[in-house]
Structure 1
Amino acid sequence: MKRFVLPALFLAACSQQTPQDEVANAPETKLPATNTPAPEAPLNPPAPGEPGGLPDDRTPVLESPIDPKSAQGAGQVLQTYFALAEQGKSADANKLWSEGAEKLDLSKYREIHANIGAPGGMEGAAGSSYVDYTVQLYGRLKDGKEFKSRGTMTLRRVNDVPGSTEEQRKWHIYKADFA
């Protein structure tokens, strides 16, 4: 009896399909198409000194405490503005503009970044101080297209004059001119 059991087991083993055979003999199935967009290229703004980049100013940044009334204090307002814009907090960002100023339309950007240059000279007129900053914007529009722009943003604060409020004596973005 032992003779017949071994050949029968051998034949049974040969007729069973292995998982590899099942995959090879399975009918071809097509995977559903995915709508995953191709990865986007990294954003690379022009470097300082290149066309569209910030001026190639190698003046070191001050590392001492910043006087909030100084031009560097105005620069901190711009840094805060663009940090909020990058986070999609446009309502909070817009609070940093002067009352009645024509604000940047942040709603057209899917992703926005800024490089902020050194301050220009501080000027005064009619009880207020003004300072200009060169700003390089880059990122992606809502449709995914990359953009780069360079312009000037002007900040304004009311000087410490009688009758001025604490809020008026803070730097606010007064205007933006971008190409």
Structure 2
Amino acid sequence: MMKAIVAAATISLCVTGCESAPDERQPDRGASVGADATASASPKPPSLDPPDTENDASTLTNALSPEAAKGEQGARAVLAVWTQALENRNFARAWEQFHNPPAARDAYVAWWQRYRTLDVTVEDARVEGAAGSLYYAAPTTITGTTTSGEPFRLEGQVILRRVNDVPGATAAQLRWHIDSAVLKEA
């Protein structure tokens, strides 16, 4: 299991893929993280940590054999970076583990800044395939306190995806990335 620290109020979170139709592996989406989701955010804590280049997903994945990087170990490497980034309040680094437009990063970062402490637990999952893609849906729990000192608990799944070696796929599509983080108050 992986650990991280975050403070939060009870919320629903859908980081990416909210506009796409859910399939049988993906739960219903929560509220989208964007300008509307950050309107009621608490004051910002101190500045974000600098990127941790020694532990980014590409470094961890490159240390694996090509076959291992395509499987559960590759997915877990991305989750390890995301978890560590949240624990360290490096929300920009956490955002980099998603396959999203850079323009949405600021809303994602602002959304997480409402939390003072985060404790992230990610359970192991299995790689499953569907429609030319591989998915890794990891049960996730995040607890901690908000910037106002209130305790919180979020539960749900972090779903990673990569294209399953489909001809014509780009290098970015062939890498594991977080497709969505559906976390709801518990």
TM-score range, shorter chain: 0.5 to 0.7
Distance verdict in 2 for CA 1:175–1:142, change over 3 Å: same
Tell me, yes or no, if structure 1 residue 133 matches structure 2 residue 138: yes
Using structure 1 for the length normalisation, give the TM-score.
Answer: 0.56
Q: Pairwise mapping of residues 26-175 of structure 1 onto structure 2 (< 5 A)?
A: 67-99=68-100, 105-125=111-131, 127-175=132-180
What are the ranges of 5 or more consecutive residues in structure 2 without an aligned counterpart?
Answer: 6-63
Structure 1 residues 176 and 144, CA, compared in 2 at 3 Å: closer, same or farther?
same
Unaligned runs of at least 5 residues, structure 1: 1-42, 44-64
Would the alpha carbon gap of residues 166 and 83 (structure 1) be closer, same or farther in structure 2, given more than 3 Å must change? same
Q: Distance in 2 between matches of 1:149 and 1:99?
A: 22
Contact 2:71–2:127 (CA<8 Å) still a contact in 1? no
CA distance in 1, matches of 2:73, 2:140: 14
Cα offset, 1:121, TM superposition? 4.5
Residue 124 of structure 1 aligns with an amino acid whose one-letter code is: A
Q: Distance in 1 between matches of 2:108 and 2:135?
A: 17
With over 3 angstroms needed to count, the CA separation of the structure-2 counterparts of 1:103 and 1:78, relative to structure 1, is farther
> Which of the pair has the greater relative contact order for Cα pairs under 8 Å at 6+ separation?
2
The RMSD of aligned alpha carbons is 2.5
Identical aligned residues as a percent: 30
Q: Does the 8 A contact of 1:86 with 1:113 survive in 2?
A: yes
Contact 2:127–2:134 (Cα < 8 Å) also in 1: no
Q: Distance in 1 between matches of 2:126 and 2:148?
A: 35
Maintained 8 Å contact 1:151/1:178 = yes
Deviation at 1:119, TM superposition (A): 0.5
- Counterpart residue type for residue 146 of structure 1: P
CA contact (8 A) 1:103 1:176 kept: no
Query: 1:103 and 1:69, CA in 2 relative to 1: closer, same or farther beyond 3 A?
Result: farther
Tell me, yes or no, if the aligned pair for 2:143 and 2:151 is still in contact at 8 Å.
Answer: yes
Secondary structure in structure 1 of the residue aligned to 2:79: helix
